[in-house]
A = this chain, B = another copy of it.
């Protein structure tokens, strides 16, 4: 595999940008739980990975402003999916963690997602799946850079 030229890279980013915007719009509709927005789902997934975090940390990780995260956390708390506790060392901060209900919901989401996955997989061959599989961590990294 030769090195990619700047032109190749620009073309890849063009393609990526267009695909990401379209896919994100479709994901909004094909969400597995109608009562949860994509960002709410993403916050729960982050908490499942990290265990717990402060609202500020979550805002930085999800690339939203603090007031937006305040609202998202409040909605999740109202749905019984997260718990808020005082921070042990700093009384300004709070600690957000997922509830048992969130874990159960995520498990159910995963089951439902597999149904959508089966449909989607019908349109891709094994090579295409392999490429997607290989690129997923890179996309994750890109989203975090």
Contact A22 B143 (CB under 8 A): yes
Kindly state whether residue A105 has any CB partner on chain B within 8 Å. Answer: no
Minimum CB–CB distance from A14 to chain B (whole Å) comes to: 7
Which A1-32 residues have C-beta < 8 A from chain B?
A: 1, 3-4, 6, 8-27, 29
Instruction: Write the nearest CB–CB distance from A136 to chain B, whole angstroms.
Output: 4
User: Residues of A within 8 Å of B, CB-based: how many?
Assistant: 60
How many copies of this chain does one complex carry? 2
User: With A and B bound together, what is the CA distance between A47 and B128 in angstroms?
Assistant: 27
Residues of B within 8 A of A140 (CB): 15, 18-19
B8, B113, B131, B144: the one contacting A10 at CB < 8 Å is: B113
Binding site for B on A (CB under 8 A): 1, 3-4, 6, 8-27, 29, 38-39, 41-42, 45, 62-64, 110, 113-114, 117, 120-121, 123-124, 126, 128-145
11 residue pairs bridging A and B, Cβ less than 8 Å apart: A14-B113, A16-B132, A18-B42, A18-B45, A18-B143, A20-B20, A21-B38, A22-B143, A25-B39, A25-B64, A120-B145
